[in-house]
Amino acid sequence: MSIVDLEAKIPNNVGLRDNKRLTMALEKWQPKFLDWWNTVGPSDFNKHDIYLRTAIGVGQGGWAHFDYVKMPDYRWGIFLADGPADRKIHFGDQVGEAAWQEVPGEFRNRLRRLIVTQGDTEPASVEQQRMLGHCCPSLYDLRSLFQVNVEEGRHLWAMVYLLQTHFGADGRDEAEAMLERHSGDVDNPRILQAFNYPVTNWLDFFCFTAFMDRDGKYQLASLAESSFDPLARTTQFMLAEEAYHLQTGENGVGRIVKRTGELMAEGKDPRTVGAIPLEVIQRYINFWFTGSMDLFGGEDSTNAAESFANGLKGRYRESDGIYKDPKALNANYSLEVPTEDGKIEKKDIPLRRAMNAVLLDAYIADCRRIVDRWNRDLEKTGVSARVYLPDHKFNRHQGIYAGFRFTPQGELIDEATWTHKHTEWLPTQADRDYVNSCMVKVTEPGKFANYIAPPAQGVNNQSLDFEYVKFH
Amino acid sequence: MTNRLCYVCEGGDCTEKGSGDIFDKLRDLVKEFDPGEERIKIRRYPCFGACEQGINVTLYPDKVFYSTVTEADLPEIAAHIKGEGEPVTRLTGKCQPDVEQIIWDMLDSPY
């Protein structure tokens, strides 16, 4: 079991006290991080006391502590999950060899790119969500937003630790650059397009955490299998925190769907009482789910094949031994491919080249589960309407379906049909204006805006009317 | 090495209900007769989606999905794992079949 140093300037279980050079580098970066937080983070809420969970260790029981904290005082720490000292590589070409404690020279650039791409998403989402606190539907939800924000900040710390520890001057430059790019910045945007989308209301936020953070879960899970042991252990611990973010989104969209269903069951038009019609919610689901799928990369990808072969990224839960061949050499993956003459054909590709598609399949199954859950809640309200998950080919801008037009049901259509119909499938400006108009700020403990149902339970066994954020 | 696998849910709801302790205690019980994980691996799993029925524990390839698991149930579950008992049927069939199927689909991976 690693030793957790909570008294250090930067809480950690990576022995920072014994590494003066690294400590100096991180302590030099720390004020720049705080400056970033105070400039483009949720800085309007810096003076409030917020009931937050703070990571204080890596054990399953009692790894976190809850208390009131002002966000700038949050103890952003560096924690790696404990693992066996003799961990072995369990997939790819080097199965059975010792996992790497240092970056192999031949994989240096590829690993750095993976870490930077992952790391860049962490501050990006904080920037995207920075104004939402001004229109929170409840204190409970406001706390959830800030919990997600501070933990995304900690995940940035996790990636910066890896860069500064293992990538020398290049890593230090990359750590600086992650604070210089900004979401939606025309001149210096975030690396992945979906992290430049505006998040202007709480339906956006909950869809973001339900779908985009769920993509993050699968990306982190594939890195948690990595042969580069520090990366694997870092991302394993990040997954423990990320689970709450997914739950926030899954429950948040579910609560909005449920409230709409309740109002419909009462014979009310949601638009007349400040709630969100199901067809609008559906368009938001369509937008965020499809944008999230683009983050997985091409379905047929030599890069993905090389990352798997080299042992950098594994399949979901690879270390559980659930796959038949840890080298993935003797199987094909059947891919639906659009043809120039407007048809869809099945095409077999080597499994290694389909690693992004395999991960995407697991993601889609997970998303199908949450939509089914929302529909069960909708069914309980007594209305017959349902929401659905669009087909994986719909509205794609990356991968083999980019450049083609599909309906949400997966039917290949021409450009003219798309132009005529797409406003039925994706949020329009009128939708955004309407949803934004529903965003009333509710800060009385135990009260909720009319477009969202209360959650089933409070945080950390607290009641729903607990004062999760103190404004004084 | 066995392909038998037990997952204990560590999703938000299950964690709040104490799945961390359930994981630790079940692992300790199983270690008594299987210290080297030769019969079964016990692992944490992010979320099965059966949150209302938590704490959830699955066994594969048995395809037994236990719900509402408490500490008091663990000796029976451990006995089932050991091969000295039947599945604890009072803890099965509580969640939606389609939710169960998602985890079996993943574990039945053709790859």
Distance to chain A for B99, nearest Cα, Å:
7
The full set of domain ranges for chain A reads 16-470
H helical segments located in A20-138: 20-40, 108-128
- What is the model's pLDDT at position A128? 96
A 244-273 residues with CB below 8 A of B? 244, 246-247
Identify all chain A residues contacting B106, using CB atoms and an 8 Å cutoff.
316-317, 322, 362, 365
> Touching check for A329 and chain B: CB below 8 Å?
no
- A21-33 mean pLDDT: 94
* Residue-range domains of chain B with CATH: 5-107 (3.40.30.10)
**DSSP 8-state symbol, A228:** B
Query: What long-range pairs does B75-81 form, CB within 8 A, spacing at least 24?
Result: B75/B29, B77/B26, B78/B26, B78/B29, B78/B30, B81/B6, B81/B30, B81/B34, B81/B39, B81/B40
> Touching check for A348 and chain B: CB below 8 Å?
no
Whether residues B5 and A320 touch (CB distance < 8 A) is answered with yes
The whole-chain average pLDDT of chain B stands at 90
Helix (H, G, I), strand (E, B) or coil at A100: strand
At residue A63 the predicted structure's pLDDT band, cuts being 50, 70 and 90, is confident
CA trace torsion A119, A121, A122, A123 (10° rounding): 110
- According to CATH, the topology of domain A16-470 is Ribonucleotide Reductase, subunit A (1.10.620)
pLDDT in tens, A376-386: 999 999 999 99
The answer to whether residue B99 scores a pLDDT higher than 90 is no
* Residue B11 identity: G
pLDDT in tens, A424-472: 999 999 999 999 999 999 999 999 999 999 999 899 889 999 999 999 7
Cα B86 versus chain centre, distance: 14
pLDDT in tens, A93-135: 999 999 999 999 999 999 999 999 999 999 999 999 999 999 9
- What is the model's pLDDT at position A405? 96
**ipTM for the complex shown:** 0.83
- What is the model's pLDDT at position A61? 53
> Touching check for B68 and chain A: CB below 8 Å?
no
Please tell me the distance from the alpha carbon of residue A305 to that of residue A319, in angstroms, as a whole number.
Answer: 18
Whether residues A320 and B41 touch (CB distance < 8 A) is answered with yes
Whether residues A243 and B46 touch (CB distance < 8 A) is answered with yes
> Touching check for A315 and chain B: CB below 8 Å?
yes
The answer to whether residue A60 scores a pLDDT higher than 60 is no
Q: Among all residues of chain A, which has the CA nearest to that of B23?
A: A60
Check if the beta carbon of residue B110 is closer than 8 Å to that of residue A332: no
Please tell me the distance from the alpha carbon of residue A435 to that of residue A427, in angstroms, as a whole number.
Answer: 10
Which are the contacts of B88, defined by CB distance < 8 A and separation ≥ 6? Answer: B66, B73, B76, B77, B80
